[in-house]
């Protein structure tokens, strides 16, 4: 008799475990999949967007570019083709928010080190000061890994147009003249189709964590 009940006890335990697994699978299947917005100029504060784009509601992508990195290599949109990347704007002599932003970008670099389809891109907003040797010096000081992270300099007007017309990232309405200075704490998450998928405060640790979580959501969206 005891053997009979022990068999049923075992059967009941297995049935309970199986039921829990089935319920868990059904629960997951019924949960809406997390997705990220595709940001358009009309979704962003107008003060951050060039007036020519204020009412653009779809098809916004990052424009073509040709800049030079810390190793003197020409970097274009082709180097980021088929990649997810995080972009920002900085300058090497910045004494305020840039050191924090660079430290947080280095943290992201550590996380994505083995992820071949994720890169970083930092644009200098003082390209007249941030020469290739200056960028290289900064890169070595901050632990920049060349294969993962490009610090770029080049034509100031092009960089300023990228900031305002492509990345929708800065309030300054300058044209890249000698006395203009754009500066933003924003990190911008860009997908493989060159679309903006998120904006984050690069000086805020909680925002960096949110960026990393969104990065994983974006990566998973390419798995199917």
Q: How far apart are CA 167 and CA 19, in angstroms?
A: 49
The answer on 124 and 25 residing in a single domain is no
Answer for the pair 220, 86: CB distance below 8 angstroms, yes or no: no
Residue 198, strand partner residues: 189
Shared domain for 193 and 103, answered yes or no, is yes
Rounded mean pLDDT of 135-153? Answer: 98
Give the burial string for 125-153 (b: 16+ CB within 10 Å, else e).
bbbeebebebbbebbeebebeeebbbbbb
Residues 95 and 174 in one domain: yes
The predicted-structure confidence for 182-192, as pLDDT tens digits, reads as follows 678 999 999 99
Give binding residues as ranges.
Answer: 94, 98, 183
98 plus 189 within the same structural domain? yes
Give strand pairing partners of 167.
none
Q: For the domain that residue 175 is a member of, what is the CATH number?
A: 3.40.30.10
Say yes or no: 48 and 77 in one domain. Answer: yes
The pTM is what?
0.82
Report yes or no on 36 lying in a domain: no
Residue 105 lies in a domain: yes
Residues 23 and 71 in one domain: no
Q: Which residues are annotated as a binding site for Cu cation?
A: 94, 98, 183
Please count the helices (runs of H) and the strands (runs of E) in the chain: 5, 7
Same-domain status, 23 and 52: no
Domain count, the chain: 2
pLDDT digits (tens, 9 = 90+) for 69-92: 999 999 999 999 999 999 999 999
Instruction: Give mean pLDDT, residues 104-133.
Output: 97
Torsion of CA 84, 60, 222, 113, to 10 degrees: 10
The predicted pLDDT at position 45 comes to: 83
Domain that holds residue 124: 41-221
Q: Are residues 22 and 57 in the same domain?
A: no
Task: Verify that 86 and 183 share a domain, yes or no.
Answer: yes
């Amino acid at each position: 008799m005891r053997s009979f009940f022990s068999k049923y006890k075992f059967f009941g335990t297995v049935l309970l475990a199986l039921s829990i697994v089935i319920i868990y699978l059904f629960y997951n299947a019924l949960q809406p999949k997390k997705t990220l917005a595709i940001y358009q100029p009309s979704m962003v504060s107008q003060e951050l967007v060039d007036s020519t784009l204020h009412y653009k509601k779809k098809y916004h992508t990052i424009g073509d570019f040709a800049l030079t990195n810390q190793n003197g290599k020409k970097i274009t949109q082709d180097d980021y083709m088929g990649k997810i990347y995080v972009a920002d704007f900085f300058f090497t002599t910045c004494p305020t928010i840039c050191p924090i932003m660079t430290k947080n970008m280095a943290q992201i670099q550590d996380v994505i080190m083995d992820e071949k389809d994720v890169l970083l891109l930092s644009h200098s907003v003082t390209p007249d000061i941030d020469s290739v040797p200056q960028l290289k010096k900064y890169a070595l000081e901050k632990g920049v890994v060349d294969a993962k992270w490009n610090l770029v300099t080049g034509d100031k007007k092009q960089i300023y147009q990228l900031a305002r017309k492509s990345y929708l990232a800065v309030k300054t309405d300058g044209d890249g003249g000698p006395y203009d200075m754009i500066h933003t704490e924003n990190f911008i998450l860009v997908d493989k189709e060159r679309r903006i998928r998120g904006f984050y405060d690069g000086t805020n640790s909680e925002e960096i964590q949110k960026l990393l979580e969104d990065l994983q959501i974006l990566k998973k969206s390419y798995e199917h």
